[in-house]
Amino acid sequence: MPLAERVMAGGSGLPITPRPAVVRGWGRIGPAAVSRVVPGDVEAARLAILRLPSNLGGWGRGAIARGMGRSYGDAAQRHGGVVIDASALAAFELDAVRGRVRAQAGVTLGRLLAALEPAGWVLPVVPGTQHVSVGGAIAADIHGKNHAAAGTFGAHVDSLELLTADGEVRQLTAGNDAELLGATIGGMGLTGVIVSASIRLRPLASPMLSVVAERLI
């Protein structure tokens, strides 16, 4: 049966259809022919993990999570294998009193920043592009221009939900499986699929910047 005709039922009741796709990184080199699934919720992602790649015959070369594909190289692709595209896991919830946001892995930092600013909060680490996902930010443990003072993105993650290869969704915190939490932050997707995370925010006094321009020549 052609790959695109294999349809699996997702947790939402909607079918998850693995689709042949060619994916690249931001550098546009080394395209990979993959089977791409885009689960719409956690249960669908769990089924995708459990049923792929063993149900896909020749496509069974393992699986890797993918966010917005903004890695420069080939980190988010698996030639001849499966890409679990987290972009449809796109819900988030702001606790404006405690300064926390709980976001699903596919939410982009740009969406979060737009929602946080009116509430007086900002992400503690912001990279050179807003078009990266929460999952990609954690998996690559990204840095911003305030790296020396704030550390990396992962330093501000209180907890995360990780879907591992056995189909379990694990709640990871510093007090609950700290080793797996540490391996997942900066783990480049190799410990499983990050489903969601809780991130500590920084208060934002004002969205305005005070800028002093000094001309040197």
Ligand X SMILES: Cc1cc2nc3c(=O)[nH]c(=O)nc-3n(C[C@H](O)[C@H](O)[C@H](O)COP(=O)(O)OP(=O)(O)OC[C@H]3O[C@@H](n4cnc5c(N)ncnc54)[C@H](O)[C@@H]3O)c2cc1C
Which residues make up the interface to ligand X (CB under 6 A)? 26, 64-71, 75-76, 86, 105, 127-129, 132-133, 135-136, 139-140, 142-144, 188-189, 193-194
If we measure between CA atoms, which residue out of 109, 141, 140 comes closest to residue 122? Answer: 109
Tell me the sheet residues that pair with 159. 173, 198
* C-beta closer to ligand X: residue 24 or 119: 24
What's the one-letter identity of residue 123? L
Q: How far is the CB of 134 from ligand X (least distance, A)?
A: 8
* C-beta closer to ligand X: residue 5 or 166: 166
**Burial of 46 (C-beta count, 10 Å sphere; 0-12/13-18/19+):** buried
DSSP string across 171-197: EEETTBSHHHHHHHTT-TTTT-EEEEE
Q: How far is the CB of 217 from ligand X (least distance, A)?
A: 29
* C-beta closer to ligand X: residue 40 or 120: 40
* DSSP tag of 170: E
Q: Would you give the end-to-end CA distance of the chain in angstroms? A: 69
Q: How far is the CB of 179 from ligand X (least distance, A)?
A: 17
Q: How far is the CB of 188 from ligand X (least distance, A)?
A: 4
* C-beta closer to ligand X: residue 34 or 68: 68
